[in-house]
Amino acid sequence: MKITTAAEMREIDRITSERFGVHSLTLMENAGSAIAQFILQNCRQANRIAVICGKGNNGGDGFVLARKLHRAGRVVEVLLLASPSDLRGDALSMYERLPLRPIIIQNSQELQAESSRSLANSELLVDAILGTGFTPPVKGLYAEAIAAINRSGKVVVAVDIPSGADSDAMTPQPGEGIVRADAIVTFTAPRPAHVFGNLTRGPVVIAPIGSPPEAVVSKLKLELTTAGDIADLFATRPADSNKGMYGHVLIVGGSLGKSGAAAMAGMAALRAGCGLSTVATPRSALASVAGFAAELMTEPLPETAAGSIATAALASFAELAKPMTVVAIGPGIGRDPETAQFVHQSVAQTGVPLVIDADGLNAFDGDTELLDGRKRPLVLTPHPGEMSRLAGISIKAVQADRLKVARDFARQHNLILVLKGNRTIIALPDGKAWVNPTGNPGMATGGTGDILTGMTAGIIGQMQNDIARAAIAAVYMHGLAGDVAAENMGEHSLVATDLLTTMPEAYRRAAREAKESVVTIGGVSGLLDQPSA
């Protein structure tokens, strides 16, 4: 799903009306209906609802949803922060269709009075003051209204974007001067702030309102991954399937004290759907890996005195890699200098798609010229610390512009770069990038990166003709498995192997979501079904 700027969205709306014949009033009607539907489905206990409207099209959306909620039997009050004579165009048309009398607020005294009455007595507030076309900062009555909404402590659903936010911002935005929303319902395609802004504790819902795919154009070269984008992964398998059809993954890793990393990666490849998974590991670690799961095949490799893979393993590796569909190097492999040399040479001689993670990446600290995706498809999955070593910059610099750092490295080395973290970035060699919406803070625990490595290799084994899409799918499914795990046991107790257990449910959920037209970033917060009194 394309991410667009506010200006591009205005152009999309214009083209939708002028070229594709969908009237702007229809777009507004559909937008208001989408918000009303969200509230009716997810805020069932909220009977008294206040809709706070500005004078622009965001307010017009609010007038529509107020009409819909009123007809659905909710007690609705519309607070208009302007004179009706200030309304124009579609917003005025929708105002005239209101079946209830709005409360007109034009100064601080009137706002204070309604804050003590309407806002205080409502169970849910709808922020329809300012939309994505607004550029901060907010001033005057609108700023006072935003402050009043935030002081109320009520559950808030924002129309399009929380009022006061900069929709084109690519970084998290401070809360001051912005409505604190519990959910956001936007339309057609997300803007950057919907993805990067940390604007809500709850879901961001992206609802279609009538713009055809042909109208959605953006120069950002930035996509938000949805289940629909990776639907091929969930296709029904032929009745005559055999394990050879879904790839054989070779995981190369493990060392003394770190055998679990390689074992988790091997099992994650199988859970992700590949046909066969072999873990090549130092001889002394083999028993631990083999004991992790009966489904794993293992191969012993010569080892150093420290219990990590030795350069003497290169000949064995070369033979092992020949029949493989994909190779992943790094989980638990350690940082012994001899092992780093093994990594360099094994990467150089591998001709099949290759995934590198963890200390496999650290082996290239200062030697990134050896990472060349032109020789064969190459996927790197660094966390910010590993990325800082690869890029030769500080972690702070990586985090300050994650998108640019990932894009630059992917272009320079002709590879796929998966920069892990909140809103993981998948950067492609052509400059295009994808942003992942799944995952949660509970996944900040040892081993989840190893699970991703295995999943990436396992999905590449099944999608050999589209390595980029496989990497995008792996990141999405990895985060979704983490979300299911967090729902089941909470974020604080989540451990990496929980993702192996929840992956089947994640696949079932994604297969269902791939068929839906509405896209949701984040889960629907339980708070919305239990609004404040």
**Beta partners for 329?**
252, 356
Structure confidence at residue 348 (pLDDT): 96
Which secondary structure element, helix H or strand E, spans residue 210, and what is its range? Answer: none
> What is the tens place of the pLDDT at every residue in 408-463?
999 999 999 999 999 999 999 999 999 999 999 999 999 999 999 999 999 999 99
Q: Report the pLDDT averaged over residues 245-274.
A: 97
Share of the chain above pLDDT 70, in %: 98
> What is the tens place of the pLDDT at every residue in 330-339?
999 999 999 9
Q: What is the DSSP letter of 197?
A: S
C-alpha closest to that of 167 among 3, 1, 355: 3
Residue 68 above 90 pLDDT?
yes
Structure confidence at residue 528 (pLDDT): 57
Mean of the per-residue pLDDT values of the chain:
96
Structure confidence at residue 201 (pLDDT): 85
Structure confidence at residue 384 (pLDDT): 97
Q: Concatenate the DSSP letters of all residues of 322-368 into one string.
A: TT-SEEEE-TT----HHHHHHHHHHHHH--S-EEE-THHHHTTTT-G
Beta carbons of 161 and 182 less than 8 angstroms apart: no
CATH architecture of 246-513: 3-Layer(aba) Sandwich (3.40)
Can you give the residue ranges of every domain in the chain?
6-218+520-529, 246-513
User: Cα angle vertex 257, ends 251, 262, to 5°?
Assistant: 15
Residue 530 above 50 pLDDT?
no
Instruction: Please tell me the distance from the alpha carbon of residue 119 to that of residue 167, in angstroms, as a whole number.
Output: 26
SS3 of residue 135 by DSSP? coil
**451 backbone dihedrals φ, ψ, rounded to 5°:** -60, -45
> What is the tens place of the pLDDT at every residue in 455-512?
999 999 999 999 999 999 999 999 999 999 999 999 999 999 999 999 999 999 999 9
> What is the tens place of the pLDDT at every residue in 18-40?
999 999 999 999 999 999 999 99
C-alpha closest to that of 180 among 207, 196, 198, 206: 198
Residue 134 above 90 pLDDT?
no
Instruction: Please tell me the distance from the alpha carbon of residue 63 to that of residue 79, in angstroms, as a whole number.
Output: 10
Beta carbons of 28 and 53 less than 8 angstroms apart: no
Residue 524 above 80 pLDDT?
no
> What is the tens place of the pLDDT at every residue in 365-402?
999 999 999 999 999 999 999 999 999 999 999 999 99
Residue 87 above 60 pLDDT?
yes
Q: Enter the CATH code of domain 6-218+520-529.
A: 3.40.50.10260
Q: What is the DSSP letter of 236?
A: P
User: Cα angle vertex 237, ends 232, 243, to 5°?
Assistant: 110
Residue 525 above 90 pLDDT?
no
Residue 247 above 50 pLDDT?
yes
**496 backbone dihedrals φ, ψ, rounded to 5°:** -60, -40
A 10 A CB-CB count for 506 gives 22
The band of 133, judged by pLDDT with boundaries at 50, 70 and 90, is confident
Residue 527 above 70 pLDDT?
no
Structure confidence at residue 332 (pLDDT): 97
Residue 531 above 50 pLDDT?
no
- Identify the sign of the CA torsion 297, 303, 309, 311: negative
Structure confidence at residue 132 (pLDDT): 87
